[in-house]
Structure 1
Amino acid sequence: MFDDLREIVFQIMSNILLASPDAFSKDRLEEALRIAHLSDFLHKLPQGIKTPIGEKGIKLSGGEKQRLGIARAVYRRPDILFLDEATSHLDIESEQKIQDALHAFFQKVTAIVIAHRLSTIKEMDRILVLEEGRIIEEGDFETLVKMRGRFYALWKRQKFSQGNRQEEISPD
């Protein structure tokens, strides 16, 4: 060990490929960048996908870090994908674009998504509503809204707090 330890500097691409021991795939990388909505961001960087990040590179915002994490997970193609508030630092428009792209990807994997922003889970096949560690409601989005239970109350509160940006599902 040397007394002047040097930081390992990762490029954005290295960071995405980090968790995947498989051989490099350009198609998988492009899919990951598209789903994570990173392509436009990368085009603005001086070195694109080879831009260093971290202490000696560029600093990423919370949303950029989340999109990088999503790209890494998508590139890896796990059998089970856990997403815990994976888009909480994104604006609603960016989140919607990523959710739309992830929906197709979710057809290939089992996704377990933890979210407080309910628009994030609209397209999930099965939603569990937890309260004090217990499942109190379960179903798809439309079913839960029609039940007019706890999920509906949360949805209604979020819908109005976000200025009616989310569409309403008729409970009938």
Structure 2
Amino acid sequence: MDYLKKLGFDEAINYKTTPDIDQAIAAAAPQGIDCYFDNVGGPITDAVYNHLNKHARIAICGQISMYNATAVPVGPRPESKLLTTSSLMKGFIVSDYLPRWPEGVQQLGEWYRQGKLQFEETITEGFDQIPAAFLGLFEGDNTGKAVVKVAELAAA
């Protein structure tokens, strides 16, 4: 939570320790939600629908809560909430923007050099630790980007 505050977020909710996500969202966003970036899906996203403002925008970038599901999960149907709030939901896949990849790399590099990007990495050492590092993604073992360091970079 402190990490998210450090990044500039006004509020953060720990879904693992919060007994009532809907109530926590109402407290964190008392005037409702205008923009929601969804890369998890599942019960958290289901609760967000109850707090959408008129003309809210939802970008869906991932659904990790369902990646290992063995059956299609049944949950709230968002269509009526999207209709009554005139909200827009759109999938966001980075490959849709491949023609602009060089432009993105250049801009991100500039922001990095200027110190405008804040990031964390969780580095796991050793090739044999790849499965554990991967599975840790689903348990929330990492903060930021999960990286597996398999060897030292050889000097040229």
TM-score above 0.5: no
* Larger strand share, 1 or 2: 2
Normalising to structure 2: TM-score of the pair?
Answer: 0.32
What is the TM-score of this pair, normalised by structure 1?
0.30
